[in-house]
DNA sequence: AATGAATGAGAATTCATTCAT
DNA sequence: CATGAATGAATTCTCATTCAT
């Protein structure tokens, strides 16, 4: 990377970080571009060299942060042997998503207003440890006989429910606490999983 | 109701409707109070006599509209005998929610940005035909042995998933079409239901 | 007029005058709304209560000023008996337009960039002494046998030439001085007038 | 021309053309240098190597295009024998100016805001077929006994009227259609011409 | 000569809110 | 209660111009 390109990238990062830091104290929507560039220490025009507008910036912040999550050691460290019961894998995933969001409340507030931006970003860019656990759950469903397309659809909706419910619990606490949400989500997904296996078997039988 | 009160209420309704009609063409966030009072045909000061600010107005619009949904004939007309298989009840509910939102895209866009405002409004104010179907599904879970609190938590999360996913499908179409979302949601919830019955039984057995 | 309406009108006038005064030193296009409201001593929002934007303001300034011209005594004072030769009427009109513009260079610069706004404003709103002289010339043409529509077209084009050429002479001096333009315009229009009479006669004869 | 000079000229032309093409969709005043260099495919700094600013560019565009008009075959193709009645020469000139502008509306809009830039450019740089027809009309006036200076003044004012009125008719259509403007301009100038011959004769007699 | 990243002053416009009538 | 003129801070975004490479 040339020196010029490096400098450009540095400014991009500074803007991303400045915005995130400001979002810790105020809603990003009500933070002005002036404040962001002021904190980043760049000229106002530079903002528009990097982002179309504030909403573009928000998308890019979310993408940046969730990519980090997916490579985090945390999923690996606690990770289970692939042979562990599916319920434990679900519990691990749900629990780690919640923990991650809990320790990044600023990000959580951003995601809460942009759930689908986040879900799409995660699924389209999945990699690292997250990708592994994601595939594992998918494999289970595939083994039950669902087509690849059905598996994707189900994973998408389930992951959407996880993200949306975790954010809601952390922000509004209400009507369910984060812990309750974790256990209920695990419950629901496990029941679904169990039911799915039955459902498939009976379908097969029916045929 | 006195004549004065009637007039006041009429202005309140006019404001609500004007805002909703305007939201059909533009994002409500970017509609000014000026435009709303202009279309409603009342003075600007009158707005502040009725609402704290624009966000208060948005909440009241959502509440107003979902209350109408819950009393609609549609749920009753197609309604099944309570003895029908649970899957059919779920299918009916999911299908009718999607149909309602599809024919109220303006409302759908509002809800998409305020999912939990909507879910809370619905669950707290549930009545009419919607309440019946809601109770029916709850009864099933209760019969499986879940505590009232657990039933509420599960219904909340499931309903949140329904609303959130329907809005997403209708607005972004992507990655799943509305029809796919309906069938997948029904699938997931039915599997969950089936699994839940097994889960409970095995728990009981385990105990 | 109520007190409130009076106050509103006063602010309107203040804005019109402030803008005109500022235009004496700078091009109106490069004067900011800030400067205008600053000089007028009203709030910035008030500007937008009165004008759509700066171009709307410019049109209204031109209209305001040319209406004043049309009622000025100057045309009356020197006025000729209607029976005077047409050339003298034309000379008077051209001369007075030039004198008026010369003593209102700020207005002249505005009109130079908006010739047709001005010509339309003048012709549509003509009244006072200007209207009289305008009609007189029109009468002459009508007497020659031109239809009303033809008379209007010719007057429009001739007046357009007068305004456009006077502005050009005063601003660019070049290639013709204001005096040369006056005499040449008078010449051209008089020749046209003379020729028109011949032209019409020969047409009649031809028929 | 050296290779370097050729490349430079090519960039100059690209900028001129890019600006003109952009002006087909938007007012040139509100087109940014950024857009122009973007479309031309050159760097921003290059713009300033070629033009002082945007207004310099506009002048150069007008000059470039009207020079093309003056060499067009169209005037020659339809051209009349010099002995044809003067009215036919005027009609040809007016008609061809209108046709040219009609088929170059983008240019017409530019000229409308810069009538005198255009008129000066045309008269100072006249050549080709246009120069011929221009001289022919001038000769007629000279033969009537006007001095060279008077002829120039009259031609300037008449040509100014032609350009200004054609632009106005094409852009605002109102109050006169392009066709009406053509016939009225021909009428006015022909009447002027006829009247001028009388006028001159009577002056001579008077002397 | 050519580039294009960076600048930052500055312009237009909006809009929630107040308050005298 | 209702009105709507007035406010002016705040915000977004543009853009001509510079200058290091």
Mutate: best of A171, A192, A202, A203, partner B, most B CBs <10 A: A192
Burial bucket for residue C96 (CB in 10 Å: 0-12, 13-18, 19+)? buried
Let me know the angle formed at the C-alpha of A103 by A97 and A109, rounded to the nearest 5 degrees.
80
Which DSSP symbol is given to C24? T
Q: Is the pLDDT of residue B96 over 50?
A: yes
d(CA B90, CA A192): 14
Residue D202: name the closest of A6, A125, C6, C190 by CA. Answer: C190
Q: Per the CB < 8 Å rule, is A190 touching B199?
A: yes
- Global model pTM greater than 0.85: no
Residue A22's Cα: distance from chain center in Å?
21
Q: Is the pLDDT of residue B78 over 70?
A: no
Residue C90: name the closest of C167, C198, C169, C190 by CA. Answer: C190
The alpha helices in B24-114, defined as continuous H runs, are 33-40, 44-50, 54-70, 73-77, 86-102, 105-112
Q: What is the pLDDT of residues C2-30, one digit of tens each?
A: 888 899 999 999 999 999 999 988 888 88
Q: Per the CB < 8 Å rule, is D116 touching C161?
A: no
Q: List all residues 6 or more positions away from B111 whose beta carbon is below 8 Å from its beta carbon.
A: B62, B101, B117, B118, B163, B167
Instruction: Please count the residues of chain B.
Output: 207
Residue C158: name the closest of A89, D184, B141 by CA. Answer: D184
d(CA A161, CA B154): 12
d(CA C106, CA D124): 28
Residue B93: name the closest of B117, B122, B115, B114 by CA. Answer: B122
Specify whether the CB–CB gap between A97 and A162 falls below 8 A.
yes
Q: What is the pLDDT of residues A61-105, one digit of tens each?
A: 999 999 888 887 777 666 788 888 888 989 999 999 999 999 999
Residue D124: name the closest of D63, D178, D172, D75 by CA. Answer: D63
d(CA B39, CA B17): 9
Helices (H) and strands (E) in chain B, counts: 11, 0
Distance D191 CA to E12 C1' (A): 50
Q: In Å, how far is A41's CA from the nearest CA of chain B?
A: 30
* Number of CB atoms found within 10 A of residue A141's CB: 23
Quickly tell me which residue has 């009429």 as its tokens: B10
Q: Per the CB < 8 Å rule, is A198 touching B196?
A: no
**Interface membership of D9 toward C (CB under 8 Å):** no
- CA distances from residue D31 to A50, C53, C58, C113 in whole angstroms, order as listed: 21, 19, 22, 19
d(CA C34, CA B95): 56
Q: What is the pLDDT of residue D71?
A: 81
Specify whether the CB–CB gap between C115 and C133 falls below 8 A.
no
B/e letters for B8-31, b = 16+ CB within 10 Å, e = fewer, are eeebbebbbebbbebbeeeebeeb
pLDDT in tens, chain C (207 residues): 788 889 999 999 999 999 999 998 888 888 999 999 999 999 999 999 999 999 899 999 999 999 888 887 777 666 788 888 888 989 999 999 999 999 999 999 999 988 988 999 899 888 888 888 889 889 989 988 899 999 999 999 999 999 999 999 999 887 899 999 999 999 999 999 988 887 766 655 444
Distance D26 CA to E13 C1' (A): 21
Which DSSP symbol is given to D2? -
Q: Before D91, cis peptide (omega within 30)?
A: no
Quickly tell me which residue has 């759950």 as its tokens: A137
| Protein chain D, residues 17-56, with a C-beta closer than 7 Å to any atom of nucleic acid strand E | 42-46, 49
Residue B16: name the closest of B46, B35, B40 by CA. Answer: B40
Q: What is the pLDDT of residues B137-181, one digit of tens each?
A: 899 899 988 999 999 999 999 999 999 999 999 998 878 999 999
Specify whether the CB–CB gap between C117 and C56 falls below 8 A.
no
**Interface membership of B85 toward A (CB under 8 Å):** no
SS3 D127: coil
Tally the C-alpha atoms within 13 A of residue D46's C-alpha that lie toward its C-beta.
19
d(CA C117, CA C167): 14
């Amino acid at each position: 990377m040339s020196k010029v390109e490096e400098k450009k990238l540095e400014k991009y990062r500074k803007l991303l970080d400045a915005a995130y830091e400001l979002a810790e104290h105020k809603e990003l929507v009500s933070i002005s571009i002036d404040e962001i560039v002021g904190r980043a220490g760049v000229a106002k025009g530079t903002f528009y060299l990097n982002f179309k507008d504030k909403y573009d910036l928000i998308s890019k912040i979310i993408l940046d942060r969730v990519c980090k999550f997916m490579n985090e050691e945390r999923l690996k460290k606690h990770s289970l042997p692939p042979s562990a019961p599916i319920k434990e894998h679900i519990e691990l995933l749900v629990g780690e998503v919640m923990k991650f969001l809990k320790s990044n409340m600023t990000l959580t507030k951003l995601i809460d207003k942009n759930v689908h931006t986040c879900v799409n970003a995660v699924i389209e860019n999945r990699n690292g440890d997250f990708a592994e656990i994601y595939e594992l759950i998918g494999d289970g469903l595939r083994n039950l006989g669902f087509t690849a397309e059905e598996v994707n659809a189900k994973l998408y909706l389930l992951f959407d429910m996880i993200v949306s419910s975790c954010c809601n619990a952390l922000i509004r606490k209400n009507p369910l606490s984060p812990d309750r949400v974790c256990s209920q989500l695990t419950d629901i997904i496990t029941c679904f999983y169990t039911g799915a296996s039955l459902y498939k078997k009976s379908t097969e039988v029916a045929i």
